[in-house]
Amino acid sequence: MSYRHLVHVVSLILLALSAALAVTFLVALAYGEGDASAFLISSALLVIIGLLGFWQTRLHRDLSVREGYAVVSLSWMAVGVAGALPYILSGSIERPVAALFESVSGFTTTGATVFTDIEALPHGILFWRSLTQWLGGMGIIVLGVAILPFLGVGGMQLFRAEVPGPTPERLQPRIAHTAKLLWLVYGALTAAQAGLYLLGGMEPFDAVTHSFTTLSTGGFSPRNASLAAYPSPFIQYVTIIFMYLAGINFTLHYRAATGRPSVYLHDREWRFFTLLAVGATALVLLLTVAGGMYDDTGFERGLRDSLFQVASIITTTGFVSTDYGLWPIGAQFVLLLLMFVGGMAGSTAGGIKALRFYVLARQTLSELKKSLHPRGVILTRVGDEVVKEDVLARILIFVIVYLTLFALGTLIMTILGHDLTTSIGSSAASLGNIGPGLGEVGAVDNYGWLDPISQLTLLLLMLIGRLEIFTILLLLHPGLWRRSRSRHRVTEPAPIPHFPFRGQGRR
């Protein structure tokens, strides 16, 4: 482990973040609401820190796998701290822990906020909140790999440690090219959504910021009522569609855009994810209509709210179109279960990921067959491919660790004095990067009233969930920091296990 390499790459990431702060400075300056200096000072500080770190270190070889994990974890922590500076310097948030909570919530695309009156904030702060989610959605490191040639060395290790899902998928042999293509698709979808919002009558500032936080599945909104402030069916249906698109593997979007639109139908995870979303919507609609929630507003409103909230929760976006805390308890429980599922691997969504649930479902069917035919040789297959035992073991371990962390977070929150519903809702929403939870952190509530220890607990869950658990937990492993005895250069990452679960069988 070379600490100079860690400082070198983290410094470059901070320099890239200073550019984002400079852009926000221009936005704040254009509105002239007094918060522009906070972004200018923050940007200047990051430039100084980044240049000092860059000049004092050099990257002489490729990053090792251990260094890749350490760099990703430390980079996310660094940008979380740096992103809190504008909140403190502008006076928008007085408590440092609350400012750090808001920053980490933004970059991890969780969308849990400490603000009680969002519409009272200056436009610079509102833009920064949305921009942090847009940058964090595709990934800080993926952005660095795409735009900073310095990170072309060892880029695959960083890519693997950050991209959500069991394993990243290359679109091109060069990982930097893959990162650029993913950001191209990401930017194109963001621009398309903003254009549709403008067509639907949304104000330009709101159209841009909502597009940032939809494609990133972040959920920050410049409106107190979130998307409920725009009751237009057109705007809400546009949001539903793009939340759904953001929950899909972006590799599929790229392949569909390059002439293979049938790639969705051939992908088994996509079919599973879509079927799950449709089934959950039908169940929520049935429970809410049966509970008399839409006797006055009609079936279409009930269908739209059900579609909206299911899409918002399963993709971990966190937008709200209605106060689902008033829904029947059965409908709320369905949403709670969806918080654990999340979107597809390779999407910007959080959660355990539909891919892992799909593989476990196939394994469950295989076990049932083995019970009926104990002497038979029954293998777990996904399409034409056999799922290897080590792959099943890793998926099962991930799910167990995820649920254990959720239980631990819930326990800590209850010990800190919060009721069980709030503790469960806040822990699930933070670990799954969703934002609004249940109880006192529900659809129309915020996290500003929590004590600093509770906020620190939840922001740690946000980071763990965003980086797929093990990337952060590896920081606690002594082996990560032990200096390697080998002097050989590490020019290739460890072999990536093949996950044949993307519908790539026979066509």
* Average pLDDT score over residue span 123-135: 96
* Average pLDDT score over residue span 107-129: 95
Which of 184, 9, 159 has its CA nearest to residue 79?
A: 9
297 and 286 share a domain? yes
Task: For 91-111, write each residue's pLDDT tens digit.
Answer: 999 999 999 999 999 999 999
Q: Has residue 333 been placed in a domain?
A: yes
Q: Has residue 99 been placed in a domain?
A: yes
| Residue 346 pLDDT | 83
Per the model's pLDDT, the better-predicted residue between 1 and 84 turns out to be 84
Task: Examine the pLDDT at 383 and tell me if it is beyond 80.
Answer: no
482 and 418 share a domain? no
Per the model's pLDDT, the better-predicted residue between 62 and 34 turns out to be 34
Separation between Cα atoms, residue 220 and residue 4, nearest integer Å: 36
Q: Has residue 168 been placed in a domain?
A: no
Q: Has residue 158 been placed in a domain?
A: yes
318 and 448 share a domain? yes
Task: For 193-226, write each residue's pLDDT tens digit.
Answer: 999 999 999 999 999 999 999 999 999 999 999 9
Q: Has residue 180 been placed in a domain?
A: no
400 and 481 share a domain? no
Q: Has residue 175 been placed in a domain?
A: no
473 and 443 share a domain? no
391 and 475 share a domain? no
294 and 158 share a domain? no
- Angle between helix axes 204-215 and 123-138 (nearest 10 degrees) is 30
474 and 365 share a domain? no
Assessment of whether the complete model's pTM goes beyond 0.85? yes
61 and 121 share a domain? yes
What's the residue count for the chain? Answer: 507
17 and 141 share a domain? yes
What residues make up the domain containing 152?
A: 1-162+469-486
Which of 324, 352, 328 has its CA nearest to residue 438?
A: 324
56 and 157 share a domain? yes
158 and 285 share a domain? no
| Residue 423 pLDDT | 96
Task: Examine the pLDDT at 90 and tell me if it is beyond 80.
Answer: yes
How many domains does the structure of the chain reveal? 2
Helical residues (DSSP H) of 200-267, grouped into ranges: 204-215, 233-246, 250-257, 263-266
Task: For 407-438, write each residue's pLDDT tens digit.
Answer: 999 999 999 999 999 999 999 999 999 999 89
Task: For 264-282, write each residue's pLDDT tens digit.
Answer: 998 899 999 999 999 999 9
Q: Has residue 370 been placed in a domain?
A: yes
Q: Has residue 438 been placed in a domain?
A: yes
